[in-house]
Amino acid sequence: MKILLPIDGSKYTRRMLSYIAAHDELLGAGHEYHLLTVIPSLSSRAAAFFDRQTLDTYYHEEAEKVLRAPRAFAQKQGWANSSSYLHGHAPDQIARAVQRLRPDLVVMGTHGHTALGNAVLGSVVQGVLARCKVPVLLVR
């Protein structure tokens, strides 16, 4: 099974990865995992000061800060894994990755905001659920 793991480097990401590792009967080894992080885009005004190569380097370095530890964790667990990054609005980019990678399942950590918190702050999880047609497993 192909499993997409959108990650942001937070404690919720670590909790989600630990949950997968602790529940081999659900997921664990034997599946193909893809780690994805989405880096917020610089505003067009800020980006205008940099050439394309500098921006690409910035996004790559920011993504590596997020991907490094989860990639090492996945390798330590013996999971077949790959990773990538996108930049932009996280729910849109995760949905785009789902269309491109065609995973069987998306597993995400959730911050567990209340309904009021989601209404005020928005929620990446809600955005992904609204945009994706594949099953999404939320780990809180």
Residue 23 is predicted with a pLDDT of: 87
pLDDT at residue 120 is higher than 70: no
Residue 116 token pair:
């009021």
Residue 24 is predicted with a pLDDT of: 79
Q: In what order do the strands lie in the sheet with 2-6?
A: 80-87, 32-39, 2-6, 105-109, 136-139
41 pLDDT tier (thresholds 50, 70, 90): very high
Residue 113 is predicted with a pLDDT of: 52
136 pLDDT tier (thresholds 50, 70, 90): very high
87 and 93 in contact (C-beta within 8 Å)? yes
Taking 3-state DSSP, the helix, strand and coil percentages for the chain, each rounded to the nearest 5, stand at: 50, 20, 30
| Phi, psi for 109 (deg, rounded to 5) | -80, 145
Residue 18 is predicted with a pLDDT of: 94
Cα 9 to Cα 38, 62, 68, distances in angstroms: 10, 11, 9
27: CB partners within 8 A, 6+ apart? 3, 20, 107
Once rounded to an integer, what is the mean pLDDT over residues 100-117?
79
Query: How many CB atoms neighbour CB 118 within 10 A?
Result: 14
